[in-house]
Every structure is written in structure tokens, then in C-alpha cells.
Amino acid sequence: MHINQRQLFFNHLAQTSDFPLAIEIDRAEGVYMYGTNGQRYLDLISGIGVSNVGHRHPAVLAAIQQQMDKYLHLMVYGEFVQSPQVRLAEALTQTLNLPQAQTAPYGRINNVYFSNSGTEAIEGALKLAKRFTGRPEVISCFNAYHGATQGALSLSGAEFFKRNFRPLIPGIRQIQHGATADLDMITNKTAAVVIEVVGGEAGVRVPEVAYMQALRKRCTEVGALLILDEIQTGFGRTGTFWAFEPYGIYPDVLVSAKGMGGGMPIGAFMASQEVMSVFKNNPILGHITTFGGHPVSCAASLATLTVIRDQQLEEQANAKGDLIKSLIQHPMVKEIRGKGLMLAAEFDSFEVLKKVIDRCIERGVITDWFLFCDNSMRIAPPLTITEAQIKEGCEIILGVLEVGV
Ligand code: PMP
């Protein structure tokens, strides 16, 4: 008997909107996903911000296979010496061995705490900042997204998403991303500022170098930790391995997830040993997790990191992003902005954009909009996308725009 998977999806999977894409994929490879309907889809959003090295990268699959043959879960986090965790932590901290680390108040980031997801990593980073500084307040940005659990949701810069879940955690204040005048709100009561370098869900907002430097300076002056959320921007997405690198600043805590796992679930928050060591006492076991840093996810992540670095995919992201910017030129596109392969093409309205997105999907190209910017099209393909595949995708988008909506 043929079971209609789509119907079962609607019957039995918790729905988060009345209009899920509900595309059924049979398999995925590289930049393509293959639907059960026979359609081949070009993935221009990396599902979302995850498949930086494409779907099922052979090096990632091999690393998963090798680890599967050794062990899966052994013990809760932080007790046993698990080689995939150790090797990944070492490799991550090597990416953070940058000259600007010397100017960071607590020195170079050399400690990694692994989680299962982005929002969990944010939760851990929040606890770390409160415990390290002993302060009550945290600052985040309007229109920022840091996750859906209660702490991360409290940071969210959109009242619409928070209102019906209150009470959330107290002591959170919002500033405008990129507005130097707001930096005065960071005071000696502030435990941390949590901020994305490039504001993702706000619709890809690239700040000025001077702003990021002023932010760093202010945090240092008042003793607040600078927590950079690189969950979307890290692992080569914006043209450097970490988005903060070209800004000449260095965070106190760095948060990663999404693209980090090469398609496997993993997140991390990273800090210097001095900062991280507060979790050891008062209370002992200040932050614990069962599955954080799962050995298979860590193995996949190390393979992902190695592929990006060896093939210099982060550098390629710049030329590829520029190519997309040059191709997506059309009167219906008001602006195309972004950095590396993290791009947003702005339309007149959500209504227009939604029609364009739907028609692109019919023609086999997956794009999307942003949580807090619904008139802009998300374009963030795997960093492995080729020039020919970029042209193929852009031609389909332009073809849809030519017909008009
Ligand atoms: N921070 C940012 C910047 C994100 O883009 C996301 C996910 N969209 C998160 C945090 C939360 O990550 P996760 O969905 O893995 O919890």
C-alpha cells in the first residue's frame, strides 16, 4: 500500500505555520536535492545556513563512517577523553589563533564547550557571562535571532516572537545593530553583549568596521563580555573563516553551530580558559550536557572544517558572492547586499517576494526570506557551488522576474 507521506507529515508532525514548504526530498548531493516528484532542486539556502560544504560531502561521510565504526555515545560531556571532541576543539582554537587575540582582555580563545545546537550554545554562553562577571544584564540587538529556547528567545529583538511566552529572563535590553550612539547602554551592570557580526535574520546587515571596533572598546572599558554569535556567519560563510576576522576585533566568547557540523547537529561556545574555568566551581558542574559534542557530530565537524580550510572555500565565497551580485540585476530587485555567500536581494514587498520564491521552487531553485526581513530573498548556497551552478540558479531567478508577478 502506498502511504502518502505528505498527508502523514501534516497529520503527525508538529506544524509551526500553516504554510510549510512541504517538499519531499528523496536524496541530496552537493548543491542539489532530489524530490520524490522527480524535480531536482538547486539549494540556494543551504538548509538554512548549514550545508556550507554541500550535502553529503564525501569527506564528511567518510569521517562519520569511521567514527561509527569506533563508538557512538560513551559518557556525558566532559568526563571521558573522546578523541573526536579533542581534535575538533584543537582545530577550532587554531582558527582563532589570530593576531588581534593579543588585544582581547582575556586573551586567546583556547577552550571549547560543545552543545547540540545553536540555541543551546547561546544558553551556555549566557550562563558563562553571568557567572564570570557576576552581573545581571545582557544586551542584544533589535531584529536579532539567537535561538528559540527561553534564554535565547529573551535576547530576540522582536517583541512579536516573545510576547506570548513571557515571563522570559529579565535584564535584557536591546540596541540597534550598527548604531554607535546606543553603545552607551552598555554599562558596568552589563554581563555581556550578544551580537551577530553580520545580522542574519535582520536581512543580512553588514556593519561598519568602526562600529564593531567601538563596540569592542566599550565592552572592554566596562568589563562586559563580547559574545559574537557566528552561528550563521561562521565556517566560511562571509568570506573569512569567522566573520569577525576582517574587523580587527576579537570576541571574549564565540558561538558557532549550523554549518559547523557539515549536516550533523552540533554547536559550541568558545572562550579563553580563564573565562571558561568558572564552570568548575561555585557550583561545581556549572554547565552540563549529555549529548553535547556527540563524537559522530564532532568527527563530521572536523572534516567540514578541514574541507573549508584546505580548499579555501571561505576565500572562494567572496568571488562567488560577487558573481551572484553581478548577475541578480533586475528592476524588481531594489538592492542586493551581503558579504561572501550570505546575501539578501530586496524586493518591494513580501507579497511580491513570496510569489517569486514560489515560482523559483516550481522551477527547481530553493530560496527563502528572513525572519525579520520579509521583503528580501535569502541567497546563501553551499560554498562549494560552482560558477556554472551559480549561473544556472541566477538564470532561473531572472527568468521568473522576467515573467513578472
Ligand atoms: N543564532 C543565529 C544567528 C541563528 O541564525 C540561529 C538559527 N537560525 C540560531 C542562533 C539558533 O540555532 P539553532 O536553530 O541551532 O538553535
Report d(CA 94, CA 87) in Å as an integer.
11
CA–CA distances in Å: residue 350 to residues 297, 346, 355, 358, 364? 36, 10, 9, 12, 20
Q: What is the mean pLDDT of residues 315-340?
A: 98
Q: What is the mean pLDDT of residues 341-357?
A: 98
> To which H or E segment does residue 6 belong?
helix 5-12
200 lines ligand 1 (CB under 6 A): yes
Q: What is the mean pLDDT of residues 205-210?
A: 97
Residues 124-157 pLDDT 10s: 999 999 999 999 999 999 999 999 999 999 999 8
pLDDT of residue 2: 57
196 lines ligand 1 (CB under 6 A): yes
Q: Which of 147, 140, 181, 178 is nearest to 161 (CA)?
A: 147
* Number of Cβ within a 10 Å radius of residue 24: 12
Enumerate the domain spans of the chain. 5-56+312-403, 64-310
119 lines ligand 1 (CB under 6 A): yes
pTM summary value = 0.97
230 lines ligand 1 (CB under 6 A): no
pLDDT of residue 400: 98
Q: Which of 362, 386, 356, 359 is nearest to 374 (CA)?
A: 356
CATH class of domain segment(s) 5-56+312-403: alpha beta
Residues 158-187 pLDDT 10s: 999 999 999 999 999 999 999 999 999 999
Q: What is the mean pLDDT of residues 87-104?
A: 96
pLDDT of residue 3: 72
pLDDT of residue 404: 86
- The residue to mutate among 228, 231, 254, having the most atoms of ligand 1 within 8 angstroms of its beta carbon, is 231
- Cα–ligand 1 centroid distance for 193 (angstroms): 17
157 lines ligand 1 (CB under 6 A): no
pLDDT of residue 218: 98
Q: What angle do CA 280, 282, 287 make, to 5 degrees?
A: 50
Report d(CA 343, CA 236) in Å as an integer.
14
Shortest-distance atom of ligand 1 to CA 258 = 15
Residues 39-73 pLDDT 10s: 999 999 999 999 999 999 999 999 999 999 999 99
Q: Is the pLDDT of residue 331 over 60?
A: yes
266 lines ligand 1 (CB under 6 A): no
- Cα–ligand 1 centroid distance for 113 (angstroms): 17
CATH fold of 64-310 reads: Aspartate Aminotransferase; domain 2 (3.40.640)
123 lines ligand 1 (CB under 6 A): no
Nine-digit cell string for 277: 574555568
Report d(CA 75, CA 6) in Å as an integer.
38
Q: What percent of the chain has pLDDT over 90?
A: 98
- The residue to mutate among 46, 120, 146, having the most atoms of ligand 1 within 8 angstroms of its beta carbon, is 146
* Number of Cβ within a 10 Å radius of residue 206: 16
pLDDT of residue 320: 98
Report d(CA 41, CA 44) in Å as an integer.
9
Nine-digit cell string for 96: 582563532
pLDDT of residue 157: 87
Please compute Rg for the chain using Cα positions: 21
pLDDT of residue 405: 81
Residues 96-121 pLDDT 10s: 999 999 999 999 999 999 999 999 99
Q: What is the mean pLDDT of residues 88-94?
A: 98
Domains 5-56+312-403 and 64-310 equal at CATH topology level: no
Q: Which of 338, 358, 403, 349 is nearest to 376 (CA)?
A: 349
Q: What is the mean pLDDT of the chain?
A: 97
